[in-house]
């Protein structure tokens, strides 16, 4: 039975994480920022589940559930904020929101 | 069965990576969201192959189902299509990707080098049933469950409060 | 056994009282405290000294307390009274008392009455500490103390910036000497482990042979200190300007006592100088050059006090000459007589200047003989003693002793003697010039009446001393009295007063010189003043006179050599390059601030990038380990 090495699974998670990071740093649109965060969280969850599978335990999936919960809460609040920003500043450019500079 | 598992694993991984890459280079937010959904579905497949069917189901239901739908709603409200695309283009997308891509690449290389020296281990040998997950969740990690529910409550209240403000302003804008 | 400590203690106590409450006391009380403290000290010194002499045990030592006790060095506050210091104490307290008495009347209408007496008391106290110190460190304390008082008193009328400048000049120039002296003291302390004079005199010959570089260096440095304090070449430039202070100050400090501290130092340290014959020779030549140059400068001066100032420098040159040829007793003898007649001359000058409403130029004076006969008589006595008029004046005996010593010194004796003789001639000329121009002839300005008992008594006493004090030491041809030599000799060792050893014709030549000077002055200034005035207007003569007037260009030399470069450097350093270093620090901080501020962009992506880079670095560290 050919099995998948753990390293490969974790590597996939790392790559997904890297892509998410790139998206977070490169895109100016606030929505893309939030999307990239979701990608990051998903990648982290994948890593957890892969680790759990290696040990044959359910703890990793429990952590995955918690990550999911957190993502949900964060997305709802984040999107509400996006709506507020769009309403106030008429733009979604994160570089335009610089009131905390200096 | 094992060969199928291994092959399925690599197929789903490639799909997930490709879809995610496409997400971040899209100009149109809606297109990106669609690709993101594909990415999540691919990840769900991965999770299934890794012997975590419950996690896979949750990924589809909550991530691709609830969170993405929320994204779509807000995107529709906020950026009506074409105009946003041209705006993003104006912001020099390709140039902006170089630096972050470099950082991410380095990070991946670092993580990879750590993994190379790790002792050999294999995944996907067993299937962890929902029952086991439930036992762990409500047994050992029940405190976490309580905290998570509080977090959800906070998110709920926060989102409601922020949305309500806008609602009031809209109403005033109409009447005033 | 506080007996010796009372001598400096009383004036110092007077200073403390006057400094603290003097301005609130009535004038009479200030005078009583100020003059009384010095007077009591003088009386006590007289009695105590006499008692010691009678008991044939003149050496008294008294350690008051330990100043510092270090592993390799110890210094104590101790006073030591021996024959030499007893003579000095009598001179300081005696002339000091008379000057204080005079000041009661002289400074009567000055508003800073108390301050004056406070400073004067401090001065007398410091000078006594200097003279009585049995440790060189304590001596240096007194040395600095008198320097301070000199500065304070020259600038007594501080509201006039000219006076302040003169005081600063005096302080700076003597400071050069003081610094050198300090180095000399360090040298002695380092190599012998003690600065206590008795111990030093014992250890030095044991540690070093005569002529050792350390000893020569120490002697040279001590000489530098003496040169500064006693206004010898090349540090003589401060004394003429110091005449900016009140006349009692000039009389006491810059004639009788402080400037003689250098002479006292060399006499006290004669063992060190004996071990460095080269330095002794330098002492003699410095003295010689000074006495001639200063004498010639005095001849050209028009300010009465400046004449006397240059005269003081010249007479100190005589004392240095005597020290240099090893005639210690003669030097001290001349110190004593000079104190008397020079103080007398200054006090008389004070009366004259005050009565003419602060007129210093002798050309504006004249015929004062009729208006103030007492002062005229006193000034005549003083001038005569200064010129060394034969047989009757104290100055004659002391100056003759020095001339005899010069004659009997080793190689170059003839030169030393000849130049000293010329100096005596010049001294006589300028002394009588001052006398004749000020007191004889026609009255050009009417003087006011200023004399009072407080001023007259010191003049009379000093005049008497200026005449009689010489009779304690006479050459063999004139009685061979050797009271002074016999008294001081054992304390200073060396040859007991060279007076008496030389051929008789030396006496005649010396007398001749002073009488010739009197004659020349008479002819030039009384008989044919008009002819002389015509001669004096010849351009070459005028230029020469101007040169002499300026003290032979020393002030100008120092100005060009030292002052101008220094001022130039300070102006060039207006930017202050040391400050620039600190400004640079501030600039660097500001630069960093600018850089750091630019990191606060307010942009989310930027901050996220920061986090990502940080994570990268951290992981990198972990991976590379």
How many angstroms separate the CA atoms of C387 and C393, rounded? 9
Give the pLDDT confidence of B22-49 residue by residue, as tens digits: 999 888 888 999 999 999 999 999 999 9
Q: Alpha-carbon distance C338 to B174, whole Å?
A: 115
**Above pLDDT 90, what percent of chain C?**
40
Same domain, C480 and C608: no
Within this chain, do residues C492 and C580 fall inside the same structural domain, yes or no? no
Cα of B11 to nearest chain A Cα, Å: 12
Specify the length of chain C in residues.
625
The whole-number pLDDT of residue C208 equals 83
Q: How many structural domains are present in chain C?
A: 2
Test A32 with B154 for CB contact under 8 angstroms. Answer: no
Closest CA in chain B for residue A61: B55
Per residue in C528-567, pLDDT tens? Answer: 666 666 666 677 777 777 777 777 888 888 888 888 999 9
Stretch among B63-67, B81-85, B125-129, C288-292 having the lowest mean pLDDT: B81-85
Is the model's pLDDT at A27 over the cut of 60? yes
Check CB contact under 8 Å for B107 and C623: no
For residue C604, the chain A residues in CB contact (below 8 A) are: 33, 94, 97
Q: Which domain holds residue C286?
A: 277-508
What's the rounded Cα separation, in Å, for the pair C281 and A61? Answer: 107
The per-residue DSSP string of C522-538 comes to: HIIIII-HHHHHHHHTS
Separation between Cα atoms, residue B152 and residue B66, nearest integer Å: 14
Q: Which residue of A has its CA nearest to B31?
A: A32
Asked whether residue C403 is domain-assigned, the answer is: yes
Claim to verify: residue C455 and residue C601 sit in the same structural domain = no
Q: What is the pLDDT of residue C497?
A: 44
Q: What's the confidence (pLDDT) of residue C487?
A: 75
* pLDDT at position C498: 42
Q: Which residue has the tokens 């995955």?
A: A64
Whether residue C514 has pLDDT greater than 70: yes
DSSP letters along C564-599, please? HHHHHHHHHGGG-HHHHHHHHHHHHHHHHHHHHHHT
Check the CA dihedral A90-A93-A95-A101 and report its sign. Answer: positive
Q: Interface partners of B (3+ CB pairs, < 8 Å)?
A: A, C
Distance, CA of C562 to CA of C556 (rounded, Å): 10
Interface contacts B/C by beta carbons within 8 Å: 23
3-state helix/strand/coil string of C389-447 = CCCCCHHHHHHHHHHHHHHHCCCCHHHHHHHHHHHHHHHHHHHHHHHHHHHCCCCCCCC
Integer Cα distance of C129 and C404 in angstroms: 33
Query: Which residue is associated with the tokens 């040829």?
Result: C325
Q: Do B107 and C616 touch (CB under 8 A)?
A: yes
**Which among B58, B148, B159 is the nearest to A76, CB-wise?**
B159
Contact B52, A49 (CB under 8 A): yes
Task: Say what the pLDDT of residue C496 is.
Answer: 44
CB contact under 8 A, A94 and C609: no
| Of the partner residues C616, C622, C623, the one whose CB lies closest to the CB of residue B103 | C616
Rounded CA gap, C464 and C457, in Å? Answer: 11
| C332 and C421 both lie in a single domain | yes
Judged by CB atoms closer than 8 Å, whether chains meet at B162 and A72 is answered as no
C362 part of a folded domain: yes
Residue C372, pLDDT score: 86
Nearest CA-CA distance, residue B86 and chain A, Å: 12
Residue showing tokens 């300090």: C182
Rounded Cα gap, residues C234 and C227, in angstroms? 8
Domain boundary among C480, C508, C536: C508
What is the three-state SS of B16-76? HHHHHHHHHHCCCHHHHHHHHHHHHHHHHHHHHHCCCHHHHHHHHHHHHHHHHHHHHHHHH
Contact C398, C330 (CB under 8 A): yes
Residue C102 lies in a domain: no
Please give the backbone phi and psi of residue C2, each rounded to the nearest 5 degrees, phi first.
-85, 10
Indicate the residue of A25, A97, A102 with minimum beta-carbon distance to C608.
A25
Looking at chain B, which residue has its C-alpha nearest residue C620? Answer: B110
User: Which tokens go with B124?
Assistant: 């996907």
Instruction: Give the residues across from C61 on adjacent strands.
Output: C80
Asked, for residue C26, whether it belongs to a domain, the answer is no
Residue B176 has pLDDT above 50, yes or no: no
B52 with A39: Cβ contact below 8 A: no
C236-268 confidence digits (pLDDT tens): 899 999 998 999 999 988 888 888 899 999 999
Query: C161 to chain A, minimum CA–CA distance in Å?
Result: 56
Q: Which has the closest alpha carbon to C263: C336, C195, C197, C205?
A: C336
Give which of C262, C3, C258, C14 is closest to C145, Cα–Cα.
Answer: C258
Q: Which of C481, C486, C460 is nearest to C471 (CA)?
A: C481
The domain boundary residue, chosen from C463, C488, C508 = C508
pLDDT digits (tens, 9 = 90+) for C280-326: 999 999 999 999 999 999 988 889 999 999 999 999 999 999 999 98
Q: How confident is the model at residue B89 (pLDDT cuts 50, 70, 90)?
A: low
Could you tell me how many CB contacts below 8 A there are between chain A and chain B?
Answer: 260
For β-strands C60-70 and A4-5, DSSP reports them as: unpaired
Among B2, B40, B159, whose Cβ lies nearest the Cβ of A1? B2
pLDDT tens-place string over residues C262-280: 999 999 998 888 888 899 9
Contacts of B71 in chain A (CB under 8 A): 31, 34-35, 75, 79
Residue C66 pairs in a beta bridge with: C76
User: Which token pair is B152?
Assistant: 């959800």
Q: What is the pLDDT of residue A10?
A: 93
| C605/A97 touch (CB, cutoff 8 Å), yes or no | no
Per-residue pLDDT tens over the stretch C182-235: 999 999 988 888 888 888 888 888 888 877 888 899 999 999 999 999 999 889
C residues 83-142 near B, CB within 8 Å? none
User: Residue C181 CB: number of other CB atoms within 10 A?
Assistant: 28
Q: Do C602 and A102 touch (CB under 8 A)?
A: yes
Give me the numbers of helices (H) and strands (E) for chain C, helices first please.
Answer: 27, 2
Contact criterion met (CB below 8 Å) for B18 and B94: no
- Summarised one tens digit per residue, pLDDT across range C364-407 is 888 888 888 889 999 999 999 999 888 888 888 889 888 888 88
Q: Which phi and psi (to 5°) does residue C80 adopt?
A: -135, 125
Which two tokens mark B30? 């809606």
Q: Which two tokens stand for residue B55?
A: 């996690």
Instruction: Answer yes or no: do C481 and C361 share one domain.
Output: yes
Least Cα separation, residue C602 to chain B (angstroms): 18
**C503 and C583 inside one domain:** no
Task: Looking at the structure, tell me whether residues C421 and C324 fall in a common domain.
Answer: yes
Is there a domain that residue C61 lies in? no
Q: Is residue C215 part of a domain?
A: no
Indicate the average pLDDT of chain B: 85
Q: How many CB atoms lie within 10 A of CB C8?
A: 26
Instruction: Please give the angle made by the CA atoms of C343, C347 and C353, to the nearest 5 degrees.
Output: 140
Q: What is the pLDDT of residue C521?
A: 86
By C-alpha distance, which of B82, B100, B39, B93 is closest to B64? B39
**Distant-in-sequence, close-in-space partners of B144: CB < 8 Å, separation ≥ 6:** A62, A66, B137
| Torsion, CA C178, CA C181, CA C186, CA C189, rounded to 10 | -130
As a whole number, the mean pLDDT across chain C is 87
Answer with the one of C460, C475, C508 that is the final residue of a domain.
Answer: C508
Do C288 and C437 lie in a common domain? Answer: yes
> Tokens in use for B108?
């991946």
Residue C492 pLDDT level (bands cut at 50, 70, 90) = low
**Largest CA-CA distance found in chain A, in angstroms, rounded:** 60
- Strand duo B122-123 + A4-5: pairing: antiparallel
At residue C164, does pLDDT exceed 60?
yes
Taking only residues 101 to 160 of chain B, the set having a beta carbon closer than 8 angstroms to any beta carbon of chain C reads 103-104, 106-107, 110-111, 113-114
Same domain, C285 and C416: yes
What gap in Å lies between CA B6 and CA C294, rounded to an integer?
117
Q: Are residues C491 and C582 in the same domain?
A: no
Specify which residues C70 forms β-bridges with: C73
Question: Is it the case that residue C493 has pLDDT exceeding 70?
Answer: no
pLDDT tens for each residue of C45-94:
998 888 888 877 767 788 888 888 888 888 888 888 888 888 899 999 99
CB contact under 8 A, A16 and B43: yes
Same domain, C447 and C320: yes
Nearest CA in chain A to C605: A25
* C117 part of a folded domain: no
Has residue C361 been placed in a domain? Answer: yes
Q: Is C615 on the interface with B (CB under 8 A)?
A: yes
Q: Can you tell me the mean pLDDT for C94-101? A: 93
Q: Distance between CA atoms of C205 and C271, rounded to whole angstroms?
A: 9
Residues C590 and C490 in one domain: no
- CA C397 from chain centre, in angstroms, equals 23
**pLDDT (average), residues C483-492:** 71
């Amino acid at each position: 039975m050919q099995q998948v090495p753990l390293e490969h699974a974790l590597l996939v998670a790392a790559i997904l994480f890297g892509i998410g990071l790139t998206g977070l740093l490169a895109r100016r649109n606030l929505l893309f920022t939030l999307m990239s965060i979701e990608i990051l969280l998903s990648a982290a969850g994948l890593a957890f589940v892969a680790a759990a599978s290696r040990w044959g335990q359910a703890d990793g999936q429990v952590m995955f559930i918690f990550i999911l919960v957190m993502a949900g809460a964060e997305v709802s609040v984040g999107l509400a904020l996006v709506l507020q920003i769009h309403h106030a500043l008429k733009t979604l450019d994160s570089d335009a929101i610089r009131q905390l500079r200096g | 069965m094992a060969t199928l598992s291994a092959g399925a694993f690599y197929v789903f991984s490639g799909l997930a990576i490709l879809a995610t890459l496409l997400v971040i280079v899209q100009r149109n937010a809606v297109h990106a969201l669609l690709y993101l959904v594909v990415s999540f579905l691919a990840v769900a497949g991965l999770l299934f192959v890794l012997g975590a069917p419950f996690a896979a189901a949750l990924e589809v239901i909550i991530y691709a189902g609830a969170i993405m739908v929320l994204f779509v709603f807000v995107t529709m409200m906020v950026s009506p299509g074409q105009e946003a695309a041209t705006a993003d283009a104006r912001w020099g997308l390709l140039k902006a990707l170089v630096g972050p891509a470099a950082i991410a690449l380095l990070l991946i290389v670092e993580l990879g080098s750590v993994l190379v020296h790790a002792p050999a281990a294999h995944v996907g040998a067993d299937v962890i049933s929902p029952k086991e997950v439930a036992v762990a969740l409500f047994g050992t990690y029940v405190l976490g469950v309580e905290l998570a529910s509080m977090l959800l409550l906070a998110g709920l209240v926060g989102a409601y409060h922020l949305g309500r403000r806008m609602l009031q302003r809209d109403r005033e804008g109409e009447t005033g | 056994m506080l007996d010796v400590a009372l001598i400096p203690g009383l004036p110092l106590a007077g200073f403390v009282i006057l400094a603290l409450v003097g301005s609130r006391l009535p004038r009479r009380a200030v005078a009583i405290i100020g003059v009384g403290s010095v007077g009591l000290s003088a009386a006590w010194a007289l009695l105590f000294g006499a008692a010691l002499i009678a008991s044939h045990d003149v050496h008294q030592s008294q350690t008051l307390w330990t100043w510092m006790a270090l592993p390799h060095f110890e210094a104590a506050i101790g006073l030591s009274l021996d024959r030499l210091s007893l003579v000095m104490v009598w001179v300081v307290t005696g002339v000091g008392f008379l000057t204080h008495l005079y000041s009661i009347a002289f400074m009567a209408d000055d508003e800073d009455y108390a301050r004056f007496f406070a400073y004067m008391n401090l001065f007398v106290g410091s000078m006594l500490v200097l003279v009585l110190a049995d440790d060189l460190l304590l001596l240096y304390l007194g040395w600095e103390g008198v320097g301070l008082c000199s500065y304070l008193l020259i600038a007594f009328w501080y509201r006039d910036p000219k006076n302040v400048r003169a005081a600063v000049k005096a302080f700076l120039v003597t400071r050069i000497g003081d610094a050198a002296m300090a180095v000399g003291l360090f040298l002695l302390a380092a190599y012998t482990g003690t600065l206590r004079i008795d111990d030093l005199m014992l250890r030095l010959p044991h540690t070093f042979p005569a002529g050792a570089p350390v000893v020569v260096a120490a002697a040279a440095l001590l000489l530098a200190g003496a040169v500064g304090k006693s206004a010898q070449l090349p540090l003589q430039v401060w004394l003429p300007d110091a005449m900016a202070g009140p006349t009692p100050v000039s009389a006491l400090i810059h004639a009788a006592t402080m400037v003689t501290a250098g002479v006292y130092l060399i006499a006290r340290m004669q063992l060190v100088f004996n071990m460095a014959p080269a330095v002794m020779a330098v002492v003699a030549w410095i003295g010689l050059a000074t006495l001639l140059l200063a004498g010639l400068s005095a001849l050209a001066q028009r300010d009465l006090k400046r004449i006397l100032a240059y005269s003081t420098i010249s007479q100190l040159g005589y004392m240095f000459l005597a020290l240099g040829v090893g005639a210690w007793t003669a030097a001290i003898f001349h110190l004593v007589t000079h104190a008397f007649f020079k103080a007398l001359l200054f006090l008389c000058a004070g009366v004259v200047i005050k009565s003419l409403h602060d007129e210093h130029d002798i050309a504006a004076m004249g015929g004062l003989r009729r208006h103030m006969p007492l002062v005229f008589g006193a000034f005549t006595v003083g001038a005569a003693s200064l010129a060394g008029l034969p047989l009757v004046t104290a100055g004659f005996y002391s100056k003759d002793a020095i001339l005899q010593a010069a004659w009997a010194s080793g190689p170059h004796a003839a030169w030393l003697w000849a130049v000293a003789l010329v100096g005596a001639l010049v001294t006589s000329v300028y002394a009588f010039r001052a006398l004749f121009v000020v007191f004889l002839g026609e009255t050009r300005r009417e003087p006011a009446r200023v004399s009072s008992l407080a001023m007259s008594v010191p003049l009379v006493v000093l005049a008497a001393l200026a005449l009689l004090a010489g009779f304690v030491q006479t050459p063999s041809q004139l009685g061979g009295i050797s009271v002074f030599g016999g008294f001081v000799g054992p304390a200073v060792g060396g040859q007991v007063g060279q007076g008496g050893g030389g051929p008789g014709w030396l006496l005649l030549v010396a007398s001749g010189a002073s009488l010739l000077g009197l004659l020349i002055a008479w002819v030039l200034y009384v008989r044919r003043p008009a002819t002389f005035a015509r001669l004096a207007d010849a351009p070459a003569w005028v230029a020469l006179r101007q040169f002499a007037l300026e003290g032979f260009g020393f002030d100008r030399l120092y100005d060009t050599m030292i002052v101008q470069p220094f001022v130039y450097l300070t102006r060039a350093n207006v930017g202050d390059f040391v400050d620039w270093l600190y400004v640079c620090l501030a600039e660097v901080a500001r630069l960093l601030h600018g850089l750091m501020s630019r990191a606060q962009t307010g942009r989310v992506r930027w901050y996220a990038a920061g986090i990502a880079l940080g994570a990268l670095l951290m992981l990198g560290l972990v991976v590379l380990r």
